[in-house]
Copies of this chain bind each other. A is one copy, B any other.
Amino acid sequence: MIGYAFMGAAHSQAWRTAPRFFDLPLEPDMAVLCGRTPEATTAAAKRLGWRATETDWKALIRRDDVELVDVCTPGDTHAEIAIAALDAGKHVLCEKPLANTVDEARAMVAAAERAQAKGVRSMVGFNYRRVPAVALARRLVEQGRIGQVRHVRAQYLQDWIVDPEFPLVWRLQAERAGSGALGDIGAHIVDMAQFVTSDRLADVTALTETFITERPLPGSSSGLTASGSSERGPVTVDDAALFIGRFAGGAVASFEATRFATGRKNSIRLEINGSTGSLAFDFESMNELSFYDGTDDPETAGFRRILVTEPTHPYAGAWWPPGHLLGYEHSFTHEIVDLLRDIAAGADPTPSFADGLQVQLVLDSVVRSAQSGSWHSIPS
């Protein structure tokens, strides 16, 4: 694994936990952790449970005891690392967004295709697909339980930089993060909405906004938090992105990603209205799925609060009895489970790098539309 901040901690817990609750055809061995500074990396490896460390990711890729590389670094490094790893014959799990630019993402897809021909697998880490309620939503759509999809309504609302004195961490710098709310959290709802509907956004019209254009330079940054300083620098990413558009299958859609929704901590909302039913989800109640079955008799029809903890629900049977909730990091455990099963089966995991590229193309169209003021089609 390369990187050991927020995502690194989540992935480590997933690698450690997956074999304890799921029957896996492959046994994960947490071999090597890679970071830039030796001491911090060693401390992180001890904390997170990795056997060895490297400070050069190229060295990590060369190691014989590494069969899979888990890329948990900021987006500007994804392409170089992932391509090198794949070309070296290592399976790759790459955190989202796949890359900071479409060009990088295309190169990564090409590398993934080269690797696939040699049986080497790749996956991009849209972990929210593996929240049981989200996976159940897709299943219900696939089963036709809501009919033809008419409306998609997706929001990812956070508030962690609403304070103008919050410092200029790397996630607020375009050269590191690529974009702001759009790429960081907007990417998740684009993937989630396309995943649940098994459909793709076709075109969009968009706006982006940066409410606070200058912030204190961070003393030291660790991704999500940082201590401030007295100097200020420009915020070069979006604080919020909104867009509406159409899916290829005819549904109309509204998306919004923001870090300025005061009081909303990690509210990922998805609501889908179909011709015979509807679904609604909010990550702040992540163990629940709301489902309206339009075929119920009108007298007792109503949105059902499904507690997605039943043995037959996706992933849920491996854990606890009904009503005993799962948390955020379980989605990463499920990601690992699916990845390992696909690798063992010689199957291509999803979401693939091509799926990641497609999300990138949506984000790119959003940016272009916000700049041009016109509709943009998403290339297929």
Contact = CB atoms under 8 A, between A and B. Distances in A.
Contact of A323 (B246, B283, B307, B329): B283
Nearest to A314: B299
A136 B9 CA distance: 25
A166 interface: no
Given A205-B244, A320-B10, A145 B300 contact: yes
A254 B256 contact: yes
Contacts of A52: none
Given A260-B150, A261-B278, A273-B262, A299 B324 contact: no
Interface band, chain A: 35 or more
A373 B204 CA distance: 10
Contacts of A145: 300
Interface stretch (A97-105, A116-124, A263-271): A263-271
A49 to B, nearest CB: 6
A369 to B, nearest CB: 8
A318 B160 CA distance: 17
Contacts of A48: 20
B252 A254 contact: no
A374 interface: yes
A146 B305 contact: no
Interface stretch (A11-19, A59-67, A85-93, A346-354): A11-19
B304 A278 contact: no
A262 B240 contact: no
Nearest to A145: B300
A254 B266 contact: no
6 contacts: A9-B21, A17-B17, A209-B252, A262-B278, A265-B323, A283-B323
Given A206-B244, A263-B303, 9 more contacts: A157-B273, A159-B273, A162-B294, A205-B205, A254-B254, A258-B273, A262-B274, A300-B306, A320-B329
